[in-house]
Structure 1
């Protein structure tokens, strides 16, 4: 767990230092550090990393590479290109890490009202470490992030195009297309949320069955899970949702981007609740939650800036660190962090 905390501390410290000393928003060093940390890990870090690096570990000849109907074409093309150049899985992890971290930092830098805090949340809330396991969906989510300006500016065509590109790496990216209309409908937010919840209540079982039918890899989505991790995570984000809505109402936060992101986040959480009620595997459809929870890296800095209370901010930072430690050490086989053997000198 210590390596994760050291990386968190280094990145946040450098961002604050560069801002104080040069009055400049740090981008490149956080990008390099977070990319190298993610890309330099062993295939044994993360429950699914071995599956993604299997062809590299098996030294698969490019002549024997076969495109599968069970894996999205975009990801397979990327793997094929890298595999044709090298058999070292480091390059798969470092390239995908660079793309993912770059996409997030680009949007955070553009929209955050408190950059260091947003990057802190990006790491501690698990958005950063999500792709340590779900690499394909992590890529899809990161590409989808680039559509946020078009969601906020009400430009459907580029929003749809980016979602389509993201779906080449994980089909679930198409799931967020309807939320463009939910966010931009000219009705009260409460009606949007109610519509989303009952729509999910009616369609959730059909959605899970459809996802499972499109790909044999997703059959586990329909299986009932006895794991508590998914419910704890969902509960955590429901509590944050309630808190942000309450504070937004009390402090009358009128920022238009804040309002749209809150609707996007809240409607996403309410859509996932019926999926969770099905008792499905948390590593399955409940992973869709991550398409929405990343918005907290932009929402919460606005909330805490409005509250402007050092004690509440300090307690919250401490709570997020505890959450980061618990989720990283207990779930998804992320701890201990093991470096790629190619970097082991001794």
Structure 2
């Protein structure tokens, strides 16, 4: 007959644990006495036998197998990391640098140019004036005045070319009237790169020229081929001499070297930022009947840098930017607006044929 009574008192110090004991939750193991099943054995040989066949102590259960529902729950994602500042921390972490050179760009703010007036300029003496792109000022400290570049400031040839130049090449003179001042310039969150010319020359797309020191000589360069107006690169600014110049680019720029005994370099005019003044760019065209019907490849115009005509470098950006000069037409050369605008440029060249033309 089945005996439903408990075991003899001399074998257990208390009643045996219920079925399923001990629990498999590790968080509960700390409350279990440090013995097998919480049982105290009066027979030492029986306890030794159970230890040999039972494996590790049950109050410290082995880790659950992979895919088991037991064990600690998986870590819950906390979402995207967030940085929370106090007001004092925010102000301290976002203040500009003190300024020790004319042009500075903070690595944490690559789209902001800081001009430090009163610092030693490249030409010698404290910096008092710079040329900047129209509309690029975002803030300044100290006393300053802004004046648009005079139409007759650089001669009649410069005036005539300025008359048909896009707004992207319009320059403004920023002059500090006090002893110390700081000017901050930016344009459409483009990345700013500062170059220091030591007698070299560089040609910059008018839309990508942010600022430069007055010690640099500058003039507008008109490309010869009329096809350049369709591709968006008729007017550029050539700078030479000694001084700092800040150029703009969508993203980090890439430089291609043009050297003899190397292949010719071709670039998209809408992605070309600048090139060395020693180069003579040309335009490579592939306009077909399909292009006029709007069935072109979209790559009908390229700037061509032939090393036979000079050595140097070309700066491009990972972005095709349509300049103000070509906003009236498409990059493929299709549409009535492009034809009308090309005709206008053709007439302008005949009127300004006595002006110096480079490139």
Q: Shared fold by TM > 0.5?
A: no
Which structure's residues are more often helix, by fraction?
1
Which structure's residues are more often strand, by fraction?
2
- Point out which structure has higher relative CO (alpha carbons under 8 A, 6+ apart): 1
| Larger Rg over CA atoms | 2
TM-score, normalization by structure 2: 0.21
